[in-house]
Amino acid sequence: MPTHLKRILTAVLAITLAVQSSLASPPILHRQDNTASNPSPRGQGPEIQFGHCYTIKNKNGEPLGHQPSAWNYLRFGAGTKPARFKVCQNLGQCKSPNTDYQVLLNRARFWLFDVEGNYYSPRGDFVAANSPPFGSNRNLYPAGGDYRYYVDFWGENDCSRPDARPLGQCPVKLRIDNLRDDKGLVIQDGYLKAAASGDDVVVVTFEDAKCPDE
């Protein structure tokens, strides 16, 4: 198959599966209301917002970073360079249109744009997975070249606080929501990897970070 056709088919499959998943699952992106209270200013509240950048840490406080290589595989722990991720509403735009209210409510889907990227995407790209049918080691990494099996993430607060409506007011259970064969996330030897079962989640915290364009 020509390289350019393979690249197009990979991206189309990821987007198609995301649409199918949203039709098959209960609605989780609550309607954003322009009359809702204004979100907390950057750095003064834990809410996750579209268009904002974050570092992501595991339960041990280790940041998710790049394992130094051409692909910059995502890994927690020593020997990695901490990465920054912009939370995006879809692959075409990061902020939700027609509203100033960008806070994600509990149980939401979103995409993560790795702002540093890798050798093949030096200006950054969305997080992708080396998952079937396009790969087998299930590593996550910033997309690049012909490898663009983009991941649509599902986040849910890992607490029982009734007032924790915005996503991120406590640690977040993170998994995959759109890939054909993989619906979960696991950590193996520090590496963030896709997993088949949606019951496999990684508990993380999001911490405000400065975006490169700020």
Q: Which CATH number fits domain 3-28+48-209: 2.80.10.50, 3.30.70.580, 1.10.40.30, 3.40.190.10?
A: 2.80.10.50
CA distances in angstroms from 210 to 52, 99, 115, 144, 188, listed in the order given: 8, 22, 10, 23, 28
**pLDDT category, 98, cuts 50, 70, 90?**
confident
Which tokens in the block code for residue 174? 């993170």
Contact 102, 39 (CB under 8 A): yes
Which tokens in the block code for residue 2? 């020509």
The residue among 115, 89, 69 whose CA lies nearest residue 29 is 89
For the stretch 115-173, pLDDT in tens is 999 999 999 999 999 999 999 999 999 999 999 999 999 999 998 876 778 999 999 99
Domain ranges of the chain: 3-28+48-209
The residue among 126, 132, 116, 141 whose CA lies nearest residue 191 is 141
pLDDT of residue 12: 45
* DSSP 8-state symbol, 46: -
pTM of the model: 0.80
User: How much is the average pLDDT of 80-92?
Assistant: 97
Distance of CA 69 to the CA centre of its chain: 21
User: How much is the average pLDDT of 203-207?
Assistant: 97
Distance of CA 46 to the CA centre of its chain: 17
Cα 118 from Cα 139, distance rounded (Å): 14
Contact 115, 108 (CB under 8 A): no
